[in-house]
Each structure stands twice: as structure tokens, then as C-alpha cells.
Amino acid sequence: MRLFAFMGMAVCAIGWSGMAEAQNAKLCDKPRQMEGFKTCANVDKAKAEAAFTLYSTDPEQGQVKLLAAFNKLFPEIKTSYVRLQAGALYAKILSERQAKSYLVDIVQISDMGMILDFQRKGGFHQYVSPEMQFFPKEARSQPEGYWTWGSVIMAGIAYNPNNVSAAEAPKKWEDLLDPKWKDAINVKVSNSGLQHGVWYALKPILGEGYFKKFGEQKPRAFDSYVQQYGRLVDGQDKIIMGAQYSGYIEFKAKGAPLAFVFPETGVPSVPETYGIVDQAPHPNAAELFMDWFLSPIGQKALAEALLLHSPRNDVPPPGGADTVPLEKMKLLTPADWNDFEKDRPSFAKEWNRIVGAGR
């Protein structure tokens, strides 16, 4: 799959702190066979801990469904979560750690720059799951065991065919600059990892002037794709620029009048990455969850709950037969995650200007 091959060099080129110690980590000698997955976690201790907390960027409704699927197998373990956009979530984690307040067990962030920064800061607990071997090399941390891509998200263009005809609908990213879309487009806020991915992928292709002109369209920014698609359905906006494909699948399945465009240029894509946090209050429960989550049954539960594509090639895409699989998409994925990380401050500043933060 081109997505993962494209990224390999950038991931492997990163210089990690604690390399010598980390390379000693390995899979346990005798993983325990559970119902649908293998684990190296101490299951008895995990049940005794009786809880774990996940920090995530995913919508609450889907997050609840995902955790409920795990809880069905392990009713002894109470699950809880905190949901924020990537930038706000990462700031919360760093603030807590600075105060030596260790509240979270597992973190999921949709911004690889933040993930790499957290690894450099020693923020992850290294745990090599028996299920990691089934993920592409580029979807796993180097050294292995710090983080793993849990899903791949992508962004295109969405519109409501009741309000915008197929003939006049934008087909290319450049079409969004047409004056007729002024005051009719919505996007995500600058804290979004996917929105940063859209910016980062399209700017070198469409030119420096593209987003300056896009700002003249006065797009409105929102925290969640639920708000974005809701406004499209209600007719408050006509177009979503950088529309999250999983959100489209979700709303379309409910009967919402929506259409999704995959521009020929390609669709920006970023991973949602998961890792166990160092000094987690419930480390055994966290390890057990990660093994379940990375397995086919956990990845299928993710696809059903959040309609996200799995990096595993043995897990079918979410939704129905109309869902486009990863291998049929032209994905625009950052080749250098370190550069992606360095780009965030300038992106946030410019994006806040474009959307008129507070407008």
C-alpha cells in the first residue's frame, strides 16, 4: 500500500532518546490467548485495577461505543475518557505531567508531530503488543512499542445535493476559491490534527497563495465534524473543506443528504495514533486494552463505532459496500513528520487568521 511505503523513510530517520534501553524491549515469551486476540498483559492485575482512562480526539458518541465493546469482554474494568481536539488535548497532558498529576492511561492523538514530541519527552510507556506485528512497519514506533497507528483518517470535500447541484459542486480544491462559496464553507479549528494535515499537504501542491485566497471566502471553523455535517444538513453552510470521510459515512448511513468528493489532486490523510502513557495509573488494564484494540476484533469495533479505516489489511473498511477502501484512494500523507511538527505554530497562526478566530 503506497501510503505506508511513502512514509517509511521519514519515520525511520527520527533520532529517539533512550534508544539503547528501548531496543531491549521485546514481545513476551508466551502471549496468552484471549477471546479473539493475544495479550502479554497480566490479565488478573488488569481486572484488579478495574479501570482505565483514555484521552482521545474522537467524537464522544463513537468513543462510548468503542469502549463499550471492550467493556463487554471485560465488565470488571470500568472505562472513562476525555475528548478534546488534538492541540488542546496535548496541552492538557503536558500540563498534568508538569504538575506530576498522572490521570491518563492511554492517549490517542490525530497529530503525529505531537506524538513524536511526546515520545522524545519520555511520555510513553513501552509495551510490545502481540498484535503489533500485523501492522505495517511505518504504522509502528521505532523502537517498537511506544505508539501504533490505530486508524487512518482522510479529508475531502463534502456538500448537500439538496442545496448544491452536482453540476455546480466543487470538483477540485481550487474550485473552493470561486466567489460563489463566500460565507458558505466550514472547516475545523486550528487545534485539529486533520485540518493541519490538509494545510500541510495542499500548500506545496496548490501554492502559497491558495490559502490566502481561501481566507477571502470567510470560512467558519468548528471543533467537531458533527457540527460541520450538521450545518451542511441544515443548510447553514454549503461546503465542507477538508471534510472528514468517516463523518460523511456516519451521516450518510443515517439518511442525510450528502455527497463526498475525492479531488484528483488527492485527499490529505493523517493517522490517529495510540500509546500507553508513562506512569499510567492503570498500566495492566491499559496493556490489555491495547492488545484488544490492535487485534482484528478491536479494529472492527473501531470501524463500527467510529467508521474509521484500519491500517491492518485483514480488517475491512467501515460502512457499507459504497465505502472507498484505502488502497483505492490517492492519499496525501506527510513524508516528514518532524517537519510537520515544526510547521504547526505557523499553521495555527495563519489558520486562526483565515477563520477569524472568534468570528
Q: Which residues of the chain have pLDDT under 50?
A: 1-23, 358
CA dihedral 251, 252, 255, 258 (to 10 degrees): 100
pLDDT of residue 18: 33
Which candidate, 288, 250, 317, places its Cα nearest to that of 62? 250
Which candidate, 357, 315, 309, places its Cα nearest to that of 333? 309
DSSP 93-149: HHHHHHTT----SEEEES-HHHHHHHHHTT-BPP---TTGGGS-GGGB-SSTTS-EE
CA distance linking residue 277 with residue 50, whole number of Å: 17
DSSP code, position 41: S
Phi-psi region of 274 (alpha: psi -120 to 50; beta: other; left: phi over 0): beta
- Domains of the chain plus CATH, in order, are 14-152+270-325 (3.40.190.10), 153-269+330-352 (3.40.190.10)
DSSP β-ladder status, 51-56 and 78-83: parallel
pLDDT of residue 26: 79
pLDDT of residue 6: 41
Predicted confidence (pLDDT) per residue in 186-206, tens digit: 999 998 999 999 999 999 999
